[in-house]
């Protein structure tokens, strides 16, 4: 029997067990399952992770694994929690056939283990903890925006001119407000750019590793992500040129500043060369500049689009990361017909981004408190980054963090020989800490096991240290 089939076999046995249990019943402990079925702790971990991904069980740190609520038994507008509503009981099997060619793969951006239970320390978060958000400034900005007499009027498709001017100034390099299109956050900008530039079935070059949400958005647009390796200085122009030549791609996605997940900054001597390579291939670069306002105090080069004179670069950015998750305001920056194409996509998608939120963003970024917030955030992120790295060195010296990033929200840790990132993530969840397996950041096979570990989504540095202690305990369980 292969190593992969043993957890699958155990999962099948546990499905039979679960079928005879009720929602909320506790499954036997990992120790009992090891003894009863004669398997290793790693096999049990993999089997439980498989069942959790199917929605059959939930794990509760320090308590155990429990039978999950059956799908379709919840409340909503009808059913048990709404007796007056109609209960749908039709046969939807026909939809499986009708939707065959319309699949949207959300696996790169969803947690296979399900939502973390209360009390879980989040090392997999991609946004700021509430303690780091400018909540008072946001509340004040929202209140001022709501008092505007035209707060609920329609906005131009491109967005409010004052907000476009804010983003244009942030880019520099002669970018004007007319070169900016307001979007509903960075992910929306990414999806719009992919659909506007490339046709379904076309290849798109991506860094390897890369932001998992970009892979998901590309595939949802019908594109084929093709990986281009990076090193400690970012994209290699020689490999990029080869990838363009071999694939015929006319689109490349990259994050030159504080790359997610590695934190790498594209070296200054490579920046111009990367744009030249794309220009020679007749291709666009989609530059994801999501982290420019998440620096740790070290100056960074300007965005690629600021020095682009041929319309090769389409740049996107967002206020959601340095502000708050629900501040869904982003921007696309481009010149030439590609901007008209993206405006057309915005027009047919949803006409415009809601005006009250745009007005709030103008109020927030125009107030003196915004600059103070960014300075305080920079210092806090630097402290947290150092704290997480030191805790890992003390608790799990076998893992290698090759560099401390000079910005961003994450560390990229390479695991030791024989370790499995998915298995470790499942074990970590049982110990009350949530981490991101590295395999989701690769468009092809990963070269080694990694974890992306965030330092911004927990309350403080004390929680960071506790999270690493829990992670070390999970690793000891897995390693035996």
Domains of the chain: 1-70 (1.10.10.10), 110-126+371-479 (3.90.1150.10), 141-366 (3.40.640.10)
pLDDT tens for each residue of 86-97: 555 567 777 776
User: 33 Cβ partners below 8 Å, 6+ apart?
Assistant: 10, 14, 27, 39, 44
Q: Quote the pTM value.
A: 0.79
Q: How far apart are CA 176 and CA 40, in angstroms?
A: 61
Strand 251-254 vs strand 284-288: parallel, antiparallel, or unpaired?
parallel
What the block records as the tokens of 291 is 């982290």
The CA-based angle 257-334-359, given to 5 degrees, is: 85
pLDDT (tens, 9 = 90+) of the chain, 480 residues, equals 455 678 888 999 999 899 888 888 889 988 889 999 988 888 888 888 888 888 888 887 667 888 887 655 444 444 444 444 455 556 777 777 677 666 677 777 777 777 888 889 999 989 999 999 999 999 999 999 999 999 899 999 999 999 999 999 999 988 999 999 999 999 999 999 999 999 999 999 999 999 999 999 999 999 999 999 999 999 999 999 999 999 999 999 999 999 999 999 999 999 999 999 999 999 999 999 999 999 999 988 899 999 898 999 999 999 999 999 999 999 999 999 999 999 999 998 889 999 999 999 999 999 999 999 999 999 999 999 999 999 999 999 999 998 899 999 999 999 999 999 999 999 999 999 999 999 999 988 888 999 999 999 999 999 999 999 999 999 999 987
Q: How far apart are CA 144 and CA 66, in angstroms?
A: 48
């Amino acid at each position: 029997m292969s190593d992969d089939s043993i957890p699958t076999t155990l999962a099948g046995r546990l499905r039979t067990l679960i079928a005879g249990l009720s929602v909320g019943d506790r499954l036997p402990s990992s120790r009992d399952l090891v003894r009863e079925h004669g398997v290793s702790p790693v096999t049990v971990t993999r089997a439980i992770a498989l069942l959790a991904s199917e929605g059959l069980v939930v794990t509760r740190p320090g308590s155990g694994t429990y039978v999950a609520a059956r799908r379709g038994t919840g409340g909503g507008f009808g059913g048990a929690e709404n007796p007056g509503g109609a209960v749908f009981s039709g046969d939807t099997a026909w939809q499986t056939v009708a939707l065959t060619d319309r699949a949207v793969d959300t696996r790169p951006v969803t947690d296979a283990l399900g939502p973390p239970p209360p009390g879980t320390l989040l090392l997999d978060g991609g946004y700021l903890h509430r303690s780091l958000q400018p909540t008072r400034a946001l509340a004040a900005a929202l209140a001022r925006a709501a008092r505007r007499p035209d707060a609920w009027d329609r906005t131009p498709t491109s967005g409010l001119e004052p907000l476009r001017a804010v983003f244009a100034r942030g880019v520099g390099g002669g970018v004007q407000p007319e070169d900016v299109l307001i979007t509903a956050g960075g992910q929306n900008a990414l999806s719009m750019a992919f659909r506007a530039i490339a046709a379904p079935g076309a290849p798109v070059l991506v860094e390897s590793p890369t932001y998992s949400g970009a892979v998901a958005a590309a595939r949802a647009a019908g594109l084929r992500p093709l990986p281009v390796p990076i090193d400690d200085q970012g994209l290699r122009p020689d490999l990029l040129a080869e990838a363009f030549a071999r694939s015929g791609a006319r689109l490349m996605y990259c994050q030159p500043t504080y790359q997610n997940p590695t934190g790498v900054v594209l070296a200054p001597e490579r920046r111009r060369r990367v744009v030249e390579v794309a220009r020679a291939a007749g291709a666009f670069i989609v530059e994801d500049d999501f982290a420019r306002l998440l620096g740790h105090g070290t100056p960074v080069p300007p965005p690629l689009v600021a020095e682009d004179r041929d319309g090769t670069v389409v740049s996107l950015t967002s206020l959601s990361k340095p502000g708050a998750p629900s501040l869904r305001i982003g921007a696309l920056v481009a010149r030439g017909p590609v901007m008209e194409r993206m405006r057309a996509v915005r027009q047919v998608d949803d006409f415009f981004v809601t005006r009250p939120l745009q007005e709030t963003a103008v109020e927030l970024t125009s107030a003196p408190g915004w600059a103070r917030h960014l300075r305080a955030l920079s210092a806090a992120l630097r402290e947290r980054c150092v704290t997480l790295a030191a805790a890992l060195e003390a608790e799990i010296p076998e893992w290698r963090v090759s560099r401390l990033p000079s910005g961003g929200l994450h560390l990229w840790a390479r695991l030791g020989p024989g370790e499995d990132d998915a298995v470790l993530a499942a074990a970590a969840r049982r110990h009350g800490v949530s981490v991101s397996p590295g395999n989701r950041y690769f468009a092809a096979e990963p070269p080694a096991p990694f974890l992306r570990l965030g330092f911004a989504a927990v309350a403080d540095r004390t929680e960071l240290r506790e999270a690493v202690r829990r992670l070390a305990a999970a690793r000891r369980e897995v390693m035996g």
